[in-house]
Structure 1
C-alpha cells in the first residue's frame, strides 16, 4: 500500500473533523458544505495517485491487475470529477468572500485563494493533456500540481 493512501486518509479525517467543528460553530454553513464537497471530489481524484503508486510498488501481479482494472473504470470520470471539484471550490470561495469579505491578510483566505488558483491550473492541465498534448512534461506538471494542491489543502486546513 502506498503512503499516499495514509496521507489521503489522514487528510480526509482531518477534513471531517474541521467540517463538524465548523458546522457546530457557524450560523451559516453553506460555504463549509461547498468546500467539503469540493474537497471530496479532489481527494477522490487524488487517490488515483495512491493507486498508481501502489501499482508501481507492489510485487503481486494479481494485485497490480486488480488495481489497474479498478483505475481503468474510473479514468473516464477523472476530468469531470476534477472539474466538479473546481466548480464547487469556486462556489465555496465566492460564498466565503460574500460572508467574510476579501482580505488577503487573512491566512485562511490567502491559502484558499492559492489552492483555488492551483486547482484551476490543475484542471486546465488535465484537459490540455486530453485535448492537445499528452507528453511526459505535461503529465509531470499535472502530478506536481496535484502534490502542491494536496499541500495547499493541508495549509488551508491549518489556518
Structure 2
C-alpha cells in the first residue's frame, strides 16, 4: 500500500475533526460544510495518485490488474470531479467572504486563497492535458500541483 493512502486517510480524519469542532462552535456553518464537500471531491481525486503509486510498488500482478481496472472505471469522472471540487470551493469562498470579509492578513483566508488559486491551475492543467497537450511535462505539472494542493489544504486546516 502507498504512503499516500495513509496520508490521505490522516488528512480526512483531520478534516472530519475540524468540521465537527467548527460546526459545534459556529452559529452559521454552511461555509464549513461547503468546504468539507469540496475537500471530499479533492481527496477522492487525489486518492487516484495513491492507487497509481501502489500499482507501481505492489508485487502481485493480479493486484496490479485489479487496481488498474478500478482506476480505469473512475478515470472518465476525474476531470468532472475536480471541476466540481473547484466550483464547490468557490461557493465556500463566497460564503466565507460574506461572513468574514476578504482579509488576507487572516492566515485561514490567506491559505484558503492560495489553495483555491492552486486548485484553479490544477483543474486547468487537467483540462489542458485532455484538450490540447497530453505531454509528460503537463502530467508532471498536474501531479506537482496535486501535491501542493494536498500541502496547502493541510496548512489551511492548521489555521
Normalising by structure 1, we get a TM-score of 1.00
RMSD: 0.3
Paired residue for 2:108? Answer: 108
- Tell me, what secondary structure is at the counterpart of 2:93? helix
1:63, distance to aligned residue in structure 2 (A): 0.4
1:5, distance to aligned residue in structure 2 (A): 0.1
Separation of aligned partners in 1, 2:22 and 2:84: 23
Deviations 1:60-116 (Å, cap 9, x if unpaired)? 000000000000000000000000000000110110011000100000000000000
1:31, distance to aligned residue in structure 2 (A): 0.2
1:118, distance to aligned residue in structure 2 (A): 0.1
Say whether 1:81 aligns with 2:81. Answer: yes
Unaligned runs of 5+ in 1: none
Paired residue for 2:130? Answer: 130
Which contiguous aligned blocks of 4+ residues in structure 1 show a shift greater than 3 angstroms?
none
Paired residue for 1:5? Answer: 5
Separation of aligned partners in 1, 2:76 and 2:59: 27
User: How many residue pairs were aligned?
Assistant: 159
Normalising by structure 2, we get a TM-score of 1.00
